[in-house]
Chain A
Amino acid sequence: MAFTENPSIGVFVENRFGLKELNNGALAFVLPLKKNGAIGMGLYTFNQSVLFSRQKLGFAYALKLSKNFSSGIQLNVFRSFTSEYGSYFSICGELGLYFKINERTCLGVHVFNPTSGHYNKFTDERIPTAMQIGLAYQISENVLLVGEVENSSVFNFVYKGGLEYKVNEKLRLQTGVKSDPFITSYGLSFSGHKIEINISLQYHQVLDISSGISVDYYFDE
């Protein structure tokens, strides 16, 4: 986000495993502040059933700290609804940093919910804390290899690996694998003059297919 030059807006929708209750959606907006970094706002919704739903409203700020190093923070407000307790609010943070090690290699680190809060005071359910460390390596002009690990206070340790192939300036193809649960995924990105479209398909061994699409639009300055 710190490297964004123009304001942009994006929407994302996803369906998990073909169940209409498991629709996720997001709407996000990024505004660069010239030399003072960039601010962003996003609204995310998860699970739209009558029994349970959750929304997240995030406010983000990103700053380029040196030529090849940037970091960002985000504050999230969750609204969770369960048929048992009604709706309640909780707050958590997110931290990220991005470092370009050299021309070909980048490091990314992301921490979700660093202070480990609870969703509410009724249940013992904690908002999971998760730390991701990823490396991206540009093998050749057209091929990018990425690897990531995710260590969480709640879930099992996860490895992810992915490959992106740039067909031409406008079209990129992606494929990836993830452990625990084992998921393979495929994606396609189209970059236009002001618009970027990403389409993804994830295949879970047991629960079958999830699909998603996102559209980002970049405004003129």
Chain B
Amino acid sequence: MLIFTSIHKATSFQLKIAVFVLFGCFYHNSYGQINPYEHIEKIIEKLLENSDNEFDYSEIQDKLISIYEQPFDLNSVEFDHLQELIFLNHQQIQSILDYRKKYRGFASIYELKSIAELNQETIEFLKPFMMVGNVPYKNMKYNLSDRKYSRNEVILKTKTVAEKQLGYRDKSDPDTAKSYYLGNSFSYYVRFNQSIRSKYSLGLTLEKDAGEEFFRGTQKKGFDYYSAHFFIKNIGPFTSIAIGDYSVNLGQGLAFYSGFGFGKSPLVTDIYKSSRRLSPYKSVNESNFLRGIAVQCRFGKIEMTAFYSNKLIDGTILNPDSFSYNNPMITSFYKSGYHRTKDEMEKRKSNREQIAGAHLIFHFNNLKLGLTTITGLFSNEFQPQIRPYQLYDFSGSKFNNLAFNYSFAYKSFYFFGEHAFDGNAFAHLSGTLIRLGEIQTGILYRNYSPAYTALYSNSFRESADISNEKGLYFSLSFSPISNCKLDFYVDRFHFPWLDYQKDAPTHGHEYLLDMHYTPNHRIMHNIRVKSQSGEKNLSGNESPMNILHVENKLSIRYDLRNDLRGPFSLRSRIEYAGQSNGPAKASKGFLTFQDISYSFVNWKLKLTFRYAVFHTDNYFSRIYAYENDIPLAFSINSFYGRGMRYYLVFNYQINSKSSLWIKIARTKYADRELIGSGLNEINGDHKTDVKLLLRIVF
């Protein structure tokens, strides 16, 4: 089909076709291409390996999976679609479209190699999401009954901890009477989704977390969390309509960004936010989404997004024993989504949140201007606890945000920024991406007032929220010699008001140097040095006044990957972490691990095994490591103390429609007989996680 397509193209493409046919054969025969999850895991890992907090990354994975299984056509894909491939930055997307315009289309995906903006790794990431077809994307006619285009997906998932945690003790024991988990220690997850590329999606997601009751007691309706969505594109005057649960990302995220956004990552020049503005929500993060209706339409150069959301949210109630049922005061948001104990049940759906918003974008050649307005209303008033560092926390029952954002391309420069106002205080962000030959640089300045509040914001930052921060970030990415890539960033920041464990305004800086050396496509050496410095209360200080001291952290990592020709792939890592805080004793830690994965090609079975040993002086020198996992469950674990961690991930493709994943992981400590704290405490020296997932696509 490909050859027919290209016959009426220029003859210069004939050579490219030959190249494509040749490489195409190799590509499909290669090992380890059992399922798209493997490929996507590599991408997400790249983005996350620097991350040191837990977040539900399944949203990103979902988006990528659906594109992988229904790839974009390079000859018709539009800017907005490419934005969904989060590993591509704005300039890279533009360069692909420019190339297509200049050479009147792609004859094969291997032509991507001739685009200077795309490096080897990016092309490897990108290839499976792209195809070269003959029907322009826009003109494709979809029919739900046509199996070629529609995709139905069912996912069943469960997980548990094998050891008995304190919260699951015998409930008749008088010690436990006060606090225990109401339900059993298993979590259940069910999802159904029907979609046609990114044009139409209908879905239902149900979840019960470990410890929550199921079809009895406090959870008469069964699952603790229900989510449903309907999403369709290009219907009537609308470019998109979302009903049910959806997520909205506007501008650079200072006013509104409910999806996932990366801040600092090893993709050092990926600082421009370019997510899809409106997308269906399928994930299980129980707080970070919208529920209601949203529409998008376009009139010539003006694009408009409008949405309304109305849902019950969790919140900690002030004096729950004495509150009047009409209008309880809320002290803080409760975002974990766990409703396992009586206390947690009291927080459940204790407040109604209504949000309405609109976003306008004006497109002029190289210039894009955006205007955002958001207004929100809670049924119960927030009255946060007044500790000095919480002075600017959200209070009251209303919020408003107004923001203006822009982006402008000029030659190899790309300027962008956003200025937001909440009725009281401002937040500013402006950045530039510059491409000088082989060198890419990014510069970003942000200034978020301590008083600025935007409850659904997510933008470039060092602290937890978009407020109380000023900083300048500079990054550089280039290849000094072939096979070698160097990424670097330095970020200086200042927090003008107090923060958690920071009893005065503080300063800090951070830098990262990341070097990749790939002597051939099967081997990759990676050395990463990350240094952080910031002021913090001295721990263990006994005087009534807290004293600030500079805390320095340094981590050095060596990572070696071998994708052997054949069924094996190996990975080894050695990591050092050091920490010092003023006169307190400096601490250090080490982590070593070895991964082995093996693909039984004939059996469609893949096993991934890791063995890790960690030895750190204390919690301050803990080390984070990304782990392979079953789909929709990403894990970044931190290790401290002395012990070992091992896991086995088992992935079996039962037939062309269904696949099964099992993960068994155990952490075993050599330095303690009690693990965890509170209701999660385990009496023993090991903790074993068991996870199971079945996915059926038809």
Contacts and interface: CB of A to CB of B under 8 A. Distances in A.
Contact of B564 (A66, A126, A129): A66
Given A95-B611, A116-B644, A153-B642, A65 B568 contact: yes
Interface stretch (B163-171, B199-207, B405-413, B590-598): B590-598
A109 B572 contact: yes
B519 interface: yes
Contacts of A116: 643-644, 668, 670
Given A65-B568, A66-B566, A69-B568, A154 B668 contact: no
A65 B598 CA distance: 11
B615 interface: yes
B523 interface: yes
Task: Give the contact-size bracket for chain B.
Answer: 20 to 34
Contact of B613 (A101, A107, A152): A152
A131 B592 contact: yes
Contact of B615 (A99, A102, A111, A157): A157
B670 A101 contact: no
A107 B594 CA distance: 11
A114 interface: yes
Interface string B576-600: 0000000000000011111010000
A97 B596 contact: yes
Given A66-B568, A95-B611, A97-B594, A153 B643 contact: yes
B594 A149 contact: no
A131 B670 contact: no
Contacts of B560: 107
Contacts of A157: 590, 615
A39 to B, nearest CB: 22
A131 B611 contact: yes
Given A116-B668, A154-B642, A109 B594 contact: yes
A31 to B, nearest CB: 26
A151 B482 CA distance: 34
B614 interface: yes
A115 interface: yes
Contact of A151 (B519, B523, B570, B613): B613
Interface in A158-212: none
B160 interface: no
B99 interface: no
A107 to B, nearest CB: 6
A133 interface: yes
Given A95-B611, A107-B572, A157-B615, A151 B592 contact: yes
Interface string A110-131: 0100111000000000100111
Contact of B523 (A65, A101, A126, A154): A101
Contacts of B671: 153
A173 to B, nearest CB: 28
Interface of A: 65-66, 68-69, 95, 97, 99, 101-102, 107, 109, 111, 114-116, 126, 129-131, 133, 149, 151-154, 156-157
Given A101-B562, A154-B670, 12 more contacts: A66-B568, A101-B523, A107-B562, A109-B572, A111-B613, A114-B644, A131-B592, A131-B611, A151-B614, A151-B615, A152-B613, A154-B642
Interface of B: 519, 523, 560, 562, 564, 566, 568, 570, 572, 574, 590-594, 596, 611-615, 642-644, 646, 668, 670-671
23 contacts: A66-B566, A68-B564, A95-B611, A102-B523, A109-B594, A111-B613, A115-B668, A116-B668, A126-B670, A129-B644, A129-B670, A131-B593, A131-B594, A131-B613, A133-B572, A133-B592, A133-B594, A151-B592, A151-B614, A153-B615, A153-B644, A154-B642, A157-B615
